[in-house]
Structure 1
């Protein structure tokens, strides 16, 4: 049976979107930009969406990318990392305060200066955990385009500006080599199978963050228990990053250039607010712990877990430290956001 006209149109849109995302990511990768595969895919897909070209990412491919990303994040949860994390209580305490104050400051700006709704301001202010935040925002009354745009602008500015700022101030460390790939094909396949099963189950029971959080937990538990030491190869991670970038870009279908200009200004100012607050706490933590301020600035940066961890490693900082702090923030946000949202929105409705 031949595909219908609608299916053909959807297939063309999907192929165009993924091809454009891959091309944009590859172009950014060639010129050495940070988070190249995500930001390049995002910008080219965004350009197509703003040009009113039909773009979309098939749901099965989106789910598969979340499984890969969640499983990859979970590989950082090793017994060695947990042992090291026990020696970082002071910086993690300051990180917790930083997350709270960053969200409070950003919400204050979004609500009272930009005029965004309570739900939109709340989810747009969350410093990281992008997939979980977007998933929860989609089930609320939040303006999903504004949430995604604010989160994306903050991430893009962080990965674009932070390395240059640290380099200009002499805070970046010497670069280090990438870790070797671990695990044979069977080990990687079993790890992905576990991540897929847990991710689909988490999505089915509507766990906040759904697929990506479920896959992360399954992978993390296997690594913590010493049942797996495998890591995912770039051949899987790069397409997942591209799909993540495309998936954000397609959310701007039907958005006018006027709206984009308006949201960009608001989002850039919100980024300055969030980055300034997190930087203050990072500097205080560095003074208290006598640790590298550049490392703490990167660990406290309010961006996506995988991008910020990879960026910290590229800057030469301890990947265990980066993973622990960003995982700590990610896990905390994933658990706390739905609870705080329920309480906050209940209070808002009662007024």
Structure 2
């Protein structure tokens, strides 16, 4: 029997939730995020009828944005001066990581110049696919490489952090907040932050408006002490399932052989990118004294929503991590076309 779009959506969420529950049972780090991502990735490989409609991700992204804003407080301003050094280092990191990945895709994968270039840039998936297609790149391959990069970074990062730092990451991440702690006033503030944030983000044309708008409004409310709402851990787990399922579903309708080829190629490029991230994080942490884990998350080449959610789940310097990933995407989108024209001219 052929499933409707809604039926596929329910099936996708069910598979993601089952995957998260299995990971939870085995006490794996960030169980709901990784479990949903792996389960939906395997289901896509098996060609099950998965689908996440366009309306599914924005509300959850807005929820994550509002939750990210709860981490902003007056104490954040005290460390802004040190952030300038790491933001400058981010520019060098983009150039280094992009160059290394480009050479890998040209020499090892054998991609043509436009495909290798836009597959290598550590920017947003949609932006890189659009720019690459306009300049003659293989649109599907660029999309799959970026999807595989995000998948592998999200999969490896919690275990990598545990291995490097020796700190155990719990299966739910941050401390548990029961549903009974939720208050009506806090929920109303939360909804107001989402509605106002999405509206302002749309009117002001924010990049990633569903994330940035609610985060900005929520940060304003918390910074000035107008509210201190905190959402139950159940909401964070649901956000992890949806985001994890979204990452896994990016391989839907792709032949299994192609998925395996892309994953195989991406393992090498992701390993190179993560080694570059660790190197930059280590050097900057030694220079500035910033927390190494925060820098690792800030310099990891994953998606903005995915990396922000990991930072939120682990309670690791959320404003610092979010700012670096937003700046990274903006720098890559703004500078990639200029550098591409220069390279083509050469």
1:178 aligned residue:
175
- Distance of 1:206 and 1:177 partners within structure 2: 32
Candidates 17, 20, 34, aligned match of 2:15 = 20
1:34 aligned residue:
29
- Distance of 1:263 and 1:145 partners within structure 2: 7
- Distance of 2:262 and 2:15 partners within structure 1: 24
Residue 48 of structure 1 pairs with residue 43 of structure 2: yes
2:311 aligned residue:
309
- Distance of 1:282 and 1:233 partners within structure 2: 32
For the 8 Å contact 1:21–1:45, the answer to whether it is kept is yes
For the 8 Å contact 2:144–2:262, the answer to whether it is kept is no
- Distance of 2:7 and 2:148 partners within structure 1: 25
243 and 203 in structure 1: CA distance in 2 versus 1, 3 angstrom threshold: farther
2:195 aligned residue:
196
| Structure 2: unaligned runs, 5 residues or longer | 134-138
1:223 aligned residue:
222
- Give the structure-2-normalised TM-score: 0.80
The offset of 1:80, in angstroms, is 1.5
Residue 166 of structure 1 pairs with residue 165 of structure 2: yes
Q: Secondary structure at the match of 2:4?
A: helix
The offset of 1:159, in angstroms, is 2.0
1:151 aligned residue:
150
Candidates 97, 100, 104, aligned match of 1:102 = 97
| Matched residues, number | 330
68 and 294 in structure 1: CA distance in 2 versus 1, 3 angstrom threshold: closer
- Distance of 1:349 and 1:88 partners within structure 2: 34
345 and 16 in structure 1: CA distance in 2 versus 1, 3 angstrom threshold: same
2:270 aligned residue:
271
Q: Secondary structure at the match of 1:103?
A: helix
| Structure 1: unaligned runs, 5 residues or longer | 128-132, 314-318
293 and 327 in structure 1: CA distance in 2 versus 1, 3 angstrom threshold: closer
For the 8 Å contact 2:122–2:329, the answer to whether it is kept is no
